[in-house]
A = this chain, B = another copy of it.
Amino acid sequence: MTNKYDVLFEPVQIGPVTAKNRFYQVPHCTGMGYLRPRAEAAVRAMKAEGGWGVVSSQETEIHPTSDLSPCPENRLWDDRDIPALRLMSDAIHEKDSLAAIQLAHNGYHAYNNASRAPLLAPSDISLHNLNPKQARGMDKEDIRNLRKWHRDAARRAREAGFDIVYVYAGHCMTLVQHFLLPRLNDRTDEYGGSLENRARLMRELLEETKEEIGDDCAVAMRFAVDEMMGVDGMQAAEEGRAIVEMLAELPDLWDVNVSDWSNDSATSRFAPNEGYQTPYIEFVKQVTTKPVVAVGRLTSPDLMVSMVNRGIVDFIGAARPSIADPFIPNKIKEGRIEEIRECIGCNICVSADNLAVPIRCTQNPTMGEEWRRGWHPEKIDPKGEEEAALVIGAGPSGLECAMQLARRGYHVTLAEASSELGGRARLEAKLTGLNAWKRVVDHRVYDLQQRGNVEIFLESDLSADQVVELGIPNVFVATGSSWRSDGLGRHSRTKIPNSGKLRLIAPDDIMLGKLPTDGPVLIYDDEQIYLGGVLAEHLNENGIEVIFVTPATMVSPWTESTLEQGRIQKSLIDRGVTLRISHSLQSIDETGCTLGCVYSGKDQKVECSSILLVTERVRNCTLFNEVEKFQEAKPEQFKTLKLIGDAASPGLIVDAVFSGHMAARHFEADPDLEADEYFQREIINLEDGS
């Protein structure tokens, strides 16, 4: 019996190696790298187990002149780095997948703050980051050295067990790409000027990598065909295409995308459609006979099949979708398409790398916990002695907790006070740009609905007495949090004087559709994460005038880590939102607010018709506290009483899901397990001879 998805499971040859199917986890960061090699190996092993035919490393520094400390990428400076990488390739091979490694020299994108090595670039230039240094234009010896380092790294990569070795020219992050770009390369020698000259280094590295290891390993070229800067950068229709044409048959595989990282990893907020890179990369297969892989937050099996059948790609590339669900290939193969945990495009994974800490994922709470906690996204221990559990609150934390408890085999009662499931994830998904976030709800609700051991009660705003009356001995309380209305926030640690005369709007009002009919609305964002900016867009989208005030120096500063900040601030400005940056809210009176400059204290009066405070949240613990009091009086009533999610500790949706997941995992486990897992870590070797 043939299956329309069979084409996705055809083997594909890549130079001297063959991938067992068309699922290709392209290189992506994990925040683990050389500092957490066992954790990194376990992440990649899970992808392999989930069915990806090719599983790639993250970018791998080839030399101390490409030192990204403190961000822990992979590293292959010398032979001492081979054992850590071999853990990864062995783990991938054990699950019958090909292991790929992305060699990188980061040029002027590097920091070299730990190595203090010289910074290199095609031409003299300030660094690509805020480090107070300039890179020097490479001389001929520098270029010869670089070629040797790359060759040495390729040889070590083979020795470390990798099947596919990348030359990397993407994200404006590597020397090979820097040489290609006229704005970064004003050389007058054979490495500058004409496109052929600017592509010389790319050609040399490809040739030399093939020469060094090409008999055993495939050589892949990762290349950003378009910088999405129009005429100010490389364009797919111009030099992007010309380069692929020029070097068409040289690599064994083309892995093509757009640059920079914020374009390649665009969030669903700004690039809502999957396959958003297709218009840029679809020419590639027309000019090369070599297999092509591309990405674009692809999670729909039908689109995948179509992309292969239409001759756009040979491989379905994925970074973020493979993080949200490492088992996409197997689920498709087994016809379990509805079970795919689709990426919501929130870039929490990206933020972890930017913060130099281990990767996490809103949709997949086991991501990054494979080694540390031994978590598996598709497996969980069956239940123990207990039979039943009550989960109160069906937001992200309650839904995840209920789902995992149900998977373990408990009889789960899920009580939700409102008339719909999903809590804040459902509500936030109604706001401008966040539609894809409802997948957090959809995936879990679908799963719960498939099971016979789950009872869901809507409009069940339980009292403590009712919780007691229900008689279920194990209770998980996921009652969420509410936004403060007194102004306490990150910057302001005392309540803001308020005449009480101005209309006060809560973020939840907007999410529930209770929009003001007149403006201007002054949004005071002292949370500084993402919601303030979203609400500003949403109100504007609904025709309401907005004044946006924040003590931060920019709109939504935290979103720098999700690569969205520039787009958000541009969007607000383009929409005509009035911005008052670096100002705190001093007081609220009848007709408006008084703001103070956070630097000088100088104040100014702003008129508005209402005020929307996005500051800090209060945990909704009343029910929990009342039940706890009851339990203190009658300890035998409850065996488990646990606060989870925002009610325990307000955070992002990723934190709420994680909290619900962990509570379900640890239920009936050794009580020391949770604590022990926090202590799990990788430690520096004090004995080695380095």
Contacts and interface: CB of A to CB of B under 8 A. Distances in A.
Given A134-B616, A600-B574, A35 B684 contact: yes
A134 to B, nearest CB: 4
A347 to B, nearest CB: 13
Contacts of A682: 684-685, 690
Contacts of A688: 683, 685
Nearest to A649: B136
A570 interface: yes
Nearest to A77: B679
B658 A130 contact: no
Contact of A690 (B65, B84, B135, B681): B681
Contacts of A133: 649-652, 655
Interface in A444-495: 489-490, 493-494
Interface string A592-623: 00000101101000000000000011110000
Interface in A538-583: 553-554, 557-558, 566, 569-570, 573-574, 581-582
A134 B80 CA distance: 41
Interface in A61-112: 64-65, 69-72, 77-78, 80-81, 83-84, 87, 111
A648 interface: yes
Interface string A15-51: 0000000000000000000111110000000000000
B685 A69 contact: no
Given A600-B573, A649-B135, A69 B683 contact: no
Contacts of A183: 493-494
A113 interface: yes
A574 B601 CA distance: 10
Interface string A109-139: 0010111111100001111001011111000
Interface string A289-328: 0000000000000000000000000000000000000000
Nearest to A128: B490
B494 A558 contact: no
Given A135-B649, A616-B125, A678-B64, A686 B527 contact: no
Contacts of A127: 490
Given A357-B70, A490-B126, A686-B37, A602 B619 contact: no
B36 A684 contact: yes
A130 B528 contact: yes
Given A133-B655, A655-B133, A117 B356 contact: no
A301 B684 CA distance: 40
Contact of A573 (B69, B352, B597, B686): B597
Contact of A599 (B37, B573, B651): B573
A34 to B, nearest CB: 7
Nearest to A132: B529
Nearest to A615: B126
Tallying the copies of this chain within the complex gives 2
Contacts of A111: 357
Contacts of A683: 34, 80-81, 84, 684-685, 688, 690
Contacts of A499: none
Interface string A614-639: 00111100000000000000000000
Nearest to A646: B134
Contact of A553 (B36, B87, B184, B581): B581
Contacts of A558: 130, 132
Contact of A557 (B70, B116, B130, B135): B130
Interface residues of A, number: 90
A678 B77 CA distance: 10
A512 B254 CA distance: 55
A496 interface: no
A355 interface: yes
Contacts of A582: 554
A414 to B, nearest CB: 24
A134 B617 contact: yes
A533 interface: no
A680 interface: yes
Given A64-B678, A119-B649, A649-B118, A684 B136 contact: no
Contacts of A130: 528, 557-558
Given A126-B489, A566-B599, A619-B124, A134 B87 contact: no
Nearest to A493: B183
A80 B678 CA distance: 14
A409 interface: no
A92 B651 CA distance: 42
A358 interface: yes
A77 B682 CA distance: 13
B357 A114 contact: yes
A69 B36 CA distance: 13
A136 B78 CA distance: 45
A192 B688 CA distance: 49
Nearest to A184: B493
Contacts of A557: 130
Contacts of A119: 649
A269 B688 CA distance: 43
A62 to B, nearest CB: 12
A114 B358 contact: yes
Interface of A: 34-38, 64-65, 69-72, 77-78, 80-81, 83-84, 87, 111, 113-119, 124-127, 130, 132-136, 183-184, 352, 355-358, 360, 489-490, 493-494, 527-530, 553-554, 557-558, 566, 569-570, 573-574, 581-582, 597, 599-600, 602, 616-619, 648-652, 655, 658, 678-688, 690
30 contacts: A35-B684, A36-B684, A37-B686, A65-B678, A69-B357, A70-B70, A70-B71, A70-B355, A78-B679, A114-B357, A116-B360, A116-B658, A118-B648, A130-B528, A130-B558, A132-B651, A133-B650, A133-B651, A133-B655, A134-B651, A136-B619, A136-B649, A183-B493, A183-B494, A184-B493, A573-B600, A683-B685, A683-B688, A683-B690, A685-B688
Given A116-B678, A683-B690, 17 more contacts: A34-B683, A64-B679, A80-B683, A87-B686, A113-B352, A113-B357, A118-B649, A132-B651, A132-B652, A133-B650, A133-B652, A183-B494, A184-B493, A683-B688, A684-B684, A685-B687, A685-B688
Top 4 nearest A-B pairs (CB, nearest first) are A685-B685, A70-B356, A113-B357, A64-B678
